Chain A
């Protein structure tokens, strides 16, 4: 449906002479990304409101959105599966953060989760998708950015430990989820090339 809607919008703009019809495919692609981002954002906002976890939800969203741009990782084959995956990961992060804050040793858990992200990023980042190949220059930039952003989020997560433990865990759990998704996609890529 998102693809169809984007195609119709690009067709309409082309018919009205607003865009160059030669570039219609690029506009369609842009709208497709934009619409799917808006839907995912609204879905997560609704989930956050229902769970009374608005701040945690937006921190989760900001972390995953910023870091995955550079790390890459698992992608679903359809928009429905994509939104479902987003909601499952969101639910797992929120649930785990709740469970872990009820126990001692949050700082230790945080360090392990962040360490897992860095080890995985060092080994795999950026994980390419067959629909979005990267040239050498972009790969270097994406790899560098996954470390820089990882460092910023890790510092924020460690700092938040003294202010709001759960939020700190949301950041570190999200980073480790991103790492896990890199491992899954890397494994899938290897299977495909076999």
Chain B
């Protein structure tokens, strides 16, 4: 049970990470609000 919970949480974390990294090369995220991009992310993707 605990292992399954960990796997699920890891998957949730991975989704968040991919969402952030994928948006890094784009001029804008899809629609009409752009939160401030973390400087750490920019450094990481470089």
Binding site for B on A (CB under 8 A): 3, 9-10, 13, 16, 18-19, 23, 25-34, 36-37, 40, 64-65, 68-79, 81-83, 85-86, 125-129, 131-135, 138-139, 141-142
Contact = CB atoms under 8 A, between A and B. Distances in A.
B17 A75 contact: no
B33 A76 contact: yes
A interface majority secondary structure: helix
B30 A26 contact: no
B27 A33 contact: no
A65 B30 contact: yes
Interface string B1-18: 000001001101101111
Interface size class, chain B: 20 to 34
B43 to A, nearest CB: 10
B9 A13 contact: yes
Interface in B27-46: 27-38, 40-42, 44, 46
Nearest to B25: A138
A27 B20 contact: yes
Given A25-B40, A26-B38, A26-B44, A69 B30 contact: yes
A142 B36 contact: no
Contacts of B31: 36-37, 40, 64-65, 68, 82-83, 85-86
Contacts of A129: 27-28, 34
A131 B16 contact: no
A18 B25 contact: no
Contacts of A125: 27
B32 A27 contact: no
